[in-house]
A and B are shown apart, each in its own frame.
Chain A
Amino acid sequence: MLQKNEDVERQRAFSRRGLLLGGAQALLLTGLAARMYYLQVVEADRYRTLAEDNRINLRLLPPPRGRILDRFGYALASNRQNFRVVLVREQAGDVERVLNALSQLMALDEHDYKRVLREVSRKRGFVPVTVRENLTWDEVSRVEVNGPDLPGVSIEMGQIRDYPYASSMSHVLGYVAAVAERDLTGDPLLELPGFRIGKNGIEQKYDLALRGSAGNSQIEVNAYGRVIRELNREEGKPGDELVLTVDGGLQTFVHQRLMSEKSASAVVMDIETGDVLALGSVPSYDPNAFNIGLTVKQWNDLLNDPLKPLNNKAIAGLYAPGSTFKMIVALAALKAGIGPDHRAFCPGFMTLGRARFHCWKRHGHGWVDMIRGIQHSCDVFFYDVSRKVGVDNIAAMARTFGLGEPVGIDLFGEKGGVIPTRDWKLANIGEPWQGGETLVASIGQGFVLTTPLQLAVMTARLATGKAVVPRLTRGVRAENEDPAAPPPAPDFAPLDVPEAHLALMREAMDAVSNHPRGTAYRARIEDEGWELAGKTGTSQVRRITMAERAAGVTKNEQLPWRRRDHALFVSYAPVHKPRYCCAVVVEHGGGGSKVAAPIARDILIETQRRDPVAHPSLPILADGLSVKRG
């Protein structure tokens, strides 16, 4: 009975504690219920959003980049289909066996092999790994035919920028390359792997228009990123097509012709419209290489090449214009009231104070008037008139002809050059102008710096008497829009220079090329009606010492390349009915008449042979001139 009593007591104690335990458990379960309520009612919206975010991926569809066409509609930059062979591990099974089979059909080197195996092991099984890009049609068809033996292998088609003109167009077009950190603007398109943006030239300037806008595709993905299905798709807008003023054929010719020199540039323009027909700069580079991706070494080689292949010398090369500047000085003199009959005696030098300023011709030209002065490029004549005119008047005339500031072409990196004045020297050098410096400036040396493009514009203005401005683009055309008439020729304002003065200059330039004693007579065009008018220029890059002058000036051929003179030539043609102008600068080429003039001649012959302005151009939009800037 004792035990029984004790058991009753034990049961009571048990019941007490059991109830406590049960109560505690019930409380905890209530806590769980409260948590359920919190998650599924209070926070439900937040979690629902998170679940949707998980599930739905927005994928950008990159738009095809707009093509760039030349004035006749030939593609200068287009998109090539890029066939690549890809491998999906989970379908391939034995990756090495499939790769071996694939190597029977196309060249696969050790490097590809290792890369594929590495990528395959790193990525998830259903992610395609690129085995090789840029397949030929042959390789594509071989893979397709052997499909059954190549499980998991398929051909994917992408787009890659293609520059059919390769290096001859690179300075105009620039190139596209992978997006760098600093290019990111927040546009998600830029963050797409493999997306390319314009990095130079037209590609950069008009990047936004050419780029188009991205479409997107809403896809449902699982936790591993595998696509389950597409929920919605919005196609993007392809990039606009851009039509340039350039004649692709002429550009190629110019490039080929310049290739005879180490480092040279040339600009060919339509003087009526300002259309830039060719813009060459040598050496150059292949823009296609950027597209595929340069190695660090290739890039450094380009960057450190002393000939600066990445520089567009036609717009960014600064050269003392030398004697090509003399027309400007002559016009300034005419404006200042010095008549065309003004004569100066050239003994081979001029003395100013204690300094002696030499003519390029050691024994002098004798008596020289303005036309002869230009025809023979007599330095002393221009020393003489410049002293009377003053540097500021010369500078004013130079600016009228587009020198001393960027002319405003549709490319980044155009240089403005220098046209010195008294104020300019005080402000920039901090010293007062010296009388002798006017003399040096009058033959386009010293502080004077110009670009080949400026020289071409100067020549166009000389030939037309109008404030010609170059243009490189004819307009932007959106895809699937009807083409309309070509843009009207721009109406340039006449220059504030009397026609008689200009006529005198043209007569002098005619004499330079077509008079037997002109400096460029040997580089004349003999074909009737195609003759050119021009002006040579040779600009020193070194100082000739008195000692050297006494011993006879060293010939260019005997100097190291870096110390040779720059050779320049500005010209237009045909001489009596001008339409085209051409400026050529050959770095360290030696004499303008000997090196630059023959190049300009060949270019102008080819230009007139092709006569691009006479041929129908690609019709483009009427509002094509309201160009969207990139």
Chain B
Amino acid sequence: MPADTFLSTRNPEMTLRQKIWQLNWGLVILLCLIAAVGFAMLYSAANGSVEPWASRQMVRFGLGVVIMFTVALIDVRFWFRYAYLIYLASLALLVAVEVMGSVGMGAQRWIDLGFIRLQPSEVMKVCLVLALARYFHGVSTEEIGRPTYLLLPLALILAPAALVLKQPDLGTAGMLLLAAAAVLFCAGVRWWKFAIVFVGGCAAVPVAWQFLRDYQKARVMTFLNPENDPLGAGYHSLQAMIAFGSGAVTGKGFLQGTQSHLNFLPEKQTDFIFTMLAEEFGLVGSLGLLGLYFLLLAYGFAIAFRARNQFARLLAIGLTTNLFLYVFINMAMVMGVFPVVGVPLPLVSYGGTALLTVMTAMGLIISCYIHRDIRISRRGTSEG
């Protein structure tokens, strides 16, 4: 096949300048707005100081923006070509923490790179979607109907999920499974197969319960009945809800949150940062941030629908769903409608890996947008 047919007919190779012109600036501004909310809350969490959190988060965000643009400007075909490789590298990292991290902390989930503590499980959230998108790009509608074609993706999903579960990190494992399910769903896997998995999953709950660690069981029980043990495991959930509700419509004012500043609120700079926002800015603030996320997700979906190749579609929708899962689980968790599973609020919570993962995902989504008109053949060649 001649080399030029590799390219889309409508969309010849773009120059860098054209690509920058194509950058989805609305999405970038949205990202910066959300990150700015995060900086403000981290400033408040430190009782009105940029140290120690806000300043570092800004540096990381800056780094994240650079990464995001770099990823966005790289041709989507590059990501297509190396999807499996990236996935394997990420899986290797997961195995590495499993081997190295078997000592200390009970559940070590990161590799210390000096400037950042890299959590391979976070990275895997992006890589899994990448690999699945690549796979389903190459599978025809009929082939999807055949169970044998689902064996490889299931292996792609279950290998990292099992490793993460073993860490043990229930939240991340769940997110991996759900994001993967979203990709499979949009790729056209039959409804009844999801039904079987769902029923099977429900049946497995009692068995899985046996394998949960005590603190995980406690969290689930606490979630089911937080008032049961207000000073023990239910304390954080309850205090978070008190903080949330006491913010009322307009909030207590910036830096005025009593629950957060008197330390009743747990993890106020990380997983529970949304509670602090809700306490200080009330319903206005919490709905406002929810609205920003809604717009961000809408952009993700729009890009997915607009893409001309299945890989980009699946990639964009998988990563957007991933973002949705972050937002939904975190918010539901701090509002007491989901067990406490340790999922950060993307772009707002303090923490390096999650931020960089989300920024990378955003970069990939923008890349899908920039290269939306590129067509890629089923076997990885572009077509005319």
**Chain A interface (Cβ within 8 Å of chain B)?**
3-4, 6-7, 9-11, 13-15, 17-18, 20-22, 25-26, 28-29, 32-33, 35-37, 39-41, 43-44, 46-48, 50-52, 54-55, 220-224, 228
A3 touches B335 (CB 8 A): no
User: Nearest B residue to A28 by beta-carbon distance?
Assistant: B328
B383 touches A50 (CB 8 A): no
Interface bits B318-343 vs A (CB < 8 Å: 1, else 0): 00010010011001100101000000
Q: Does B249 contact A (CB under 8 A)?
A: yes
Contact flag A21-B244 (CB < 8 Å), given A6-B140, A36-B290, A220-B262: no
B297 touches A25 (CB 8 A): yes
Which 7 A-B residue pairings sit nearest by Cβ, starting from the closest? Answer: A47-B245, A51-B246, A44-B248, A222-B262, A223-B263, A40-B283, A223-B264
Contact flag A13-B294 (CB < 8 Å), given A41-B248, A221-B262: no
Residues of A within 8 A of B259 (CB): 51, 54-55
Binds A, one of B104-112, B149-157, B180-188: B180-188
Residues of B within 8 A of A11 (CB): 310, 313
Q: How far is the CA of A421 from the CA of B246 in the complex (A)?
A: 76
A17 touches B248 (CB 8 A): no
A-B contact pairs, 30 of them (CB 8 A): A3-B377, A11-B310, A14-B304, A18-B186, A18-B304, A18-B317, A21-B186, A25-B297, A28-B328, A33-B290, A36-B286, A39-B335, A40-B244, A40-B247, A40-B248, A40-B282, A44-B247, A44-B248, A46-B245, A47-B242, A48-B246, A51-B243, A51-B264, A52-B258, A54-B258, A54-B259, A55-B258, A55-B262, A222-B263, A223-B264
Residues of A within 8 A of B317 (CB): 14, 18, 21
Q: Does B378 contact A (CB under 8 A)?
A: yes
Q: How large is the interface on B (under 10, 10 to 19, 20 to 34, 35 or more residues)?
A: 35 or more
User: Nearest A residue to B246 by beta-carbon distance?
Assistant: A51
Interface bits B267-307 vs A (CB < 8 Å: 1, else 0): 00000000000100011001100100110010001001100
Q: Does B241 contact A (CB under 8 A)?
A: yes
Q: How far is the CA of A40 from the CA of B243 in the complex (A)?
A: 10
Residues of A within 8 A of B332 (CB): 32, 35
Q: How far is the CA of A433 from the CA of B245 in the complex (A)?
A: 82
Q: How far is the CA of A3 from the CA of B381 in the complex (A)?
A: 12
A47 touches B283 (CB 8 A): no
Using a CB-CB cutoff of 8 Å, which residues 184-225 of chain B contact chain A?
A: 185-188
B301 touches A50 (CB 8 A): no
Contact flag A21-B337 (CB < 8 Å), given A6-B141, A13-B188, A223-B264: no
User: Nearest A residue to B328 by beta-carbon distance?
Assistant: A28
Using a CB-CB cutoff of 8 Å, which residues 229-244 of chain B contact chain A?
A: 239, 241-244
Q: How far is the CA of A25 from the CA of B295 in the complex (A)?
A: 12
User: Nearest A residue to B323 by beta-carbon distance?
Assistant: A25
Q: How far is the CA of A40 from the CA of B240 in the complex (A)?
A: 12
Residues of B within 8 A of A14 (CB): 186-188, 304, 310, 313-314, 317
**Which of these, A13, A18, A36, A55, contacts B283 with CB under 8 Å?**
A36
A17 touches B140 (CB 8 A): no
Residues of B within 8 A of A13 (CB): 141, 188
A29 touches B328 (CB 8 A): yes
Contact flag A54-B249 (CB < 8 Å), given A3-B377, A15-B305: no
B141 touches A10 (CB 8 A): yes
A25 touches B321 (CB 8 A): yes
B305 touches A29 (CB 8 A): no
B371 CB to closest chain A CB (Å) equals: 16
Residues of B within 8 A of A224 (CB): 263
Contact flag A228-B262 (CB < 8 Å), given A21-B182, A40-B249, A54-B242: yes
Residues of A within 8 A of B262 (CB): 54-55, 220-223, 228
B264 touches A48 (CB 8 A): no
Contact flag A39-B244 (CB < 8 Å), given A21-B317, A32-B332: yes
Residues of A within 8 A of B378 (CB): 3
Number of A-B contacts (CB under 8 A): 139
A18 touches B301 (CB 8 A): yes
A47 touches B241 (CB 8 A): yes
Residues of B within 8 A of A26 (CB): 294
A50 touches B331 (CB 8 A): no
B3 CB to closest chain A CB (Å) equals: 19
**Which of these, A29, A32, A54, A228, contacts B264 with CB under 8 Å?**
A54
User: Nearest B residue to A222 by beta-carbon distance?
Assistant: B262
A32 touches B245 (CB 8 A): no
Q: How far is the CA of A36 from the CA of B188 in the complex (A)?
A: 35
Contact flag A17-B188 (CB < 8 Å), given A40-B278, A47-B244: yes
Residues of A within 8 A of B286 (CB): 36, 40
A21 touches B321 (CB 8 A): yes
Q: How far is the CA of A497 from the CA of B243 in the complex (A)?
A: 82
Residues of B within 8 A of A21 (CB): 182, 185-186, 317, 321
A7 touches B245 (CB 8 A): no
User: Nearest A residue to B332 by beta-carbon distance?
Assistant: A32
Q: How far is the CA of A14 from the CA of B239 in the complex (A)?
A: 43
- Most chain A CB within 10 A, of B246, B249, B324, is at B246
User: Nearest B residue to A224 by beta-carbon distance?
Assistant: B263
Residues of A within 8 A of B297 (CB): 22, 25, 29
**Which of these, B282, B293, B301, B309, contacts A22 with CB under 8 Å?**
B301
**Which of these, A7, A32, A48, contacts B248 with CB under 8 Å?**
A48
Q: How far is the CA of A44 from the CA of B297 in the complex (A)?
A: 29
Q: How far is the CA of A43 from the CA of B242 in the complex (A)?
A: 10
Q: How far is the CA of A52 from the CA of B264 in the complex (A)?
A: 11
**Which of these, B182, B249, B313, B331, contacts A32 with CB under 8 Å?**
B331
Residues of A within 8 A of B247 (CB): 40, 44
Q: How far is the CA of A25 from the CA of B325 in the complex (A)?
A: 9
Q: How far is the CA of A28 from the CA of B241 in the complex (A)?
A: 19
B242 touches A51 (CB 8 A): yes
B188 touches A39 (CB 8 A): no
- List 5 additional A-B contacts (Cβ < 8 Å) besides A6-B140, A36-B335, A54-B264: A10-B141, A11-B310, A55-B264, A223-B264, A228-B262
User: Nearest B residue to A26 by beta-carbon distance?
Assistant: B294
B248 touches A222 (CB 8 A): no
A29 touches B294 (CB 8 A): yes
Residues of B within 8 A of A22 (CB): 297, 301
A39 touches B249 (CB 8 A): no
User: Nearest A residue to B377 by beta-carbon distance?
Assistant: A3
Residues of B within 8 A of A35 (CB): 332, 335, 337
B193 CB to closest chain A CB (Å) equals: 13
- Most chain B CB within 10 A, of A10, A28, A228, is at A10
Contact flag A44-B294 (CB < 8 Å), given A14-B310, A21-B321: no
A213 CB to closest chain B CB (Å) equals: 30
Residues of A within 8 A of B246 (CB): 44, 47-48, 50-51
Interface bits B344-384 vs A (CB < 8 Å: 1, else 0): 00000000000000000000000000000001011000010
B176 CB to closest chain A CB (Å) equals: 17
B99 CB to closest chain A CB (Å) equals: 36
Q: How far is the CA of A18 from the CA of B140 in the complex (A)?
A: 18
B243 CB to closest chain A CB (Å) equals: 7
Contact flag A18-B313 (CB < 8 Å), given A46-B245, A54-B259: yes
Q: How far is the CA of A43 from the CA of B283 in the complex (A)?
A: 12
User: Nearest A residue to B181 by beta-carbon distance?
Assistant: A21
B76 CB to closest chain A CB (Å) equals: 16
A40 touches B245 (CB 8 A): yes
User: Nearest B residue to A42 by beta-carbon distance?
Assistant: B245
B324 CB to closest chain A CB (Å) equals: 5
A222 touches B310 (CB 8 A): no
Q: How far is the CA of A394 from the CA of B281 in the complex (A)?
A: 90
Residues of A within 8 A of B263 (CB): 222-224
Residues of A within 8 A of B282 (CB): 40
A32 touches B290 (CB 8 A): yes
Contact flag A32-B186 (CB < 8 Å), given A44-B248, A47-B244, A51-B246: no
- Most chain B CB within 10 A, of A3, A36, A48, is at A36
Q: How far is the CA of A351 from the CA of B287 in the complex (A)?
A: 110
User: Nearest A residue to B257 by beta-carbon distance?
Assistant: A51
Residues of B within 8 A of A47 (CB): 241-246
Q: How far is the CA of A10 from the CA of B304 in the complex (A)?
A: 13
